[in-house]
Structure 1
């Protein structure tokens, strides 16, 4: 069985100053993707992505996820466009609701997170496509906004999702979905079907890419065999890409990277 695209994750339990060594280690292997988490109140996703892209030459850098209540969509589009122009074809931009309790802590919790994500994704996607955007939604309001430095081609845009309505929205509006929980095979099959239903209903061409995170204890024996078996299982259930990460208490991805490389 062919393996999905493989990646590792730099968990926010690791300090920012540890990032460069990880980026350079990943870039020296054939592991395809490095994913960064923007958890409140740890490292910022845009700052770490910019650094990771600058410190690497070939690996794709995914941001999972930018919580949409925290940034104006015009600012998010400006930042993502800049990253894409600096490192064409190596940016995967993830948008999501954010943890609602954290959004409440900073005074940004939306009454209707799904409405916000729909309006926000629509606006960001149009801006990255080089369009001039007018929006007068419940949350997103833009008046003739266009990027001066839109990328030649927009970065891959994915939505983080676990529940049915957000999964369907990912299929409708985004290039794919990021399953941010530790999703088992059955849940992955169900999620993929819902995302594809959303894509079909939108009338857009092509299949959405399904990316899933997978937590693995790096201390267990035969780590190489464990990762391969997990990757094959998730691929059979519909994953196009799997990003492995360690545990909260053992976040260093280097043992996983050594096993994958």
Structure 2
């Protein structure tokens, strides 16, 4: 079955998260995703709070920029969430927005090398291994977690470019694609991910999560068009959806047909009713998505 989620956008102040997370839990939404956009809410802190406030909804963080974190800290925080809230935390890592990384003095000369080293070390630490490595960016000397997760956990990676997509297939357990990815882009991404998986000899499952920019209500078309224009995607065909639950469900299905396993509906930055959006996804769209 296709998993369906919604985004709590960091344009909202953090004090709004509690009510919205509880609403997601109560309405049966499967996944609520958070962003660590500079310089708004922190991903781990908001995820921990949302998990503590809820009982069943899965909380995703898409994504944690690896230039900002020592991999040991990423592993410690991820393992803590997975042990306290088994099966409910979904964490993705990635390059981060390079301009933001430059602002804080963390921009890497080779983002791809950094991400590869971080992924390999992170997955090993979360698997309970003792790790010693000395790479270009990641150095660990006899490091192991005292409290690793009780079982296997997936590590997702955000990706857009071909080399990063191949890397996710090779070294991650899943891939997160931005709302700038139309169905044809999902197909291309799946192909590149599979190239990486083949190179690494991987046959385990690989989840593809896709954000879908979504607007509903009387001004939905105008709000969607304005955001796509602001993001430079106005000329990209079949990107985003505006309309009622039936129209949104059909857009979700197009992404699923292209290779998405999970579709996360992303409201526009000016969504006037975030709580209403969560209800719309959980109560109106979910029954129409197989």
**Distance (Å, rounded) in 1 between the aligned partners of 2:149 and 2:204:** 22
Moved more, 235-244 or 202-211: 202-211
What SS is found at the alignment partner of 2:107?
A: coil
The separation in 2 between residues aligned to 1:61 and 1:74, in whole angstroms, is 21
* TM-score normalized with structure 1 length: 0.96
Task: Provide the residue aligned with 1:69 in structure 2.
Answer: 67
Give per-residue Cα distances to partners, 1:127-170, cap 9 Å, x unaligned.
Answer: 00000010100000000000011111143210000110100111
Are 1:191 and 2:189 matched, yes or no? yes
Q: Please say if 1:230 is aligned against 2:228.
A: no
Q: Distance in 1 between matches of 2:85 and 2:201?
A: 30
The 8 Å contact of residues 127 and 150 in structure 1, kept in 2 or not, is answered as yes
RMSD across aligned C-alpha pairs, in angstroms? 1.3
Structure 1 stretches of 4+ with a deviation exceeding 3 A read none
Say if 2:236 is the partner of 1:247. Answer: no
Gaps of 5+ in 2: 221-241, 284-290
Cα shift readout 1:107-137 (whole Å, capped 9, x = no counterpart): 0000000000000010011000000010100
| Corresponding residue of 1:15 | 13
Kept after mapping to 2: 8 A contact 1:6/1:242: yes
For structure 1, the 5+ residue unaligned runs are none
Cα distance between partner residues in 2 of 1:74 and 1:29: 36
* Distance (Å, rounded) in 2 between the aligned partners of 1:254 and 1:93: 23
Displacement of 1:222: 4.6
Contact 1:4 1:231 (8 Å CA) reproduced: no
Moved more, 250-259 or 228-237: 250-259
Contact 1:91 1:156 in 2 (8 A): no
Q: Distance in 1 between matches of 2:134 and 2:124?
A: 14
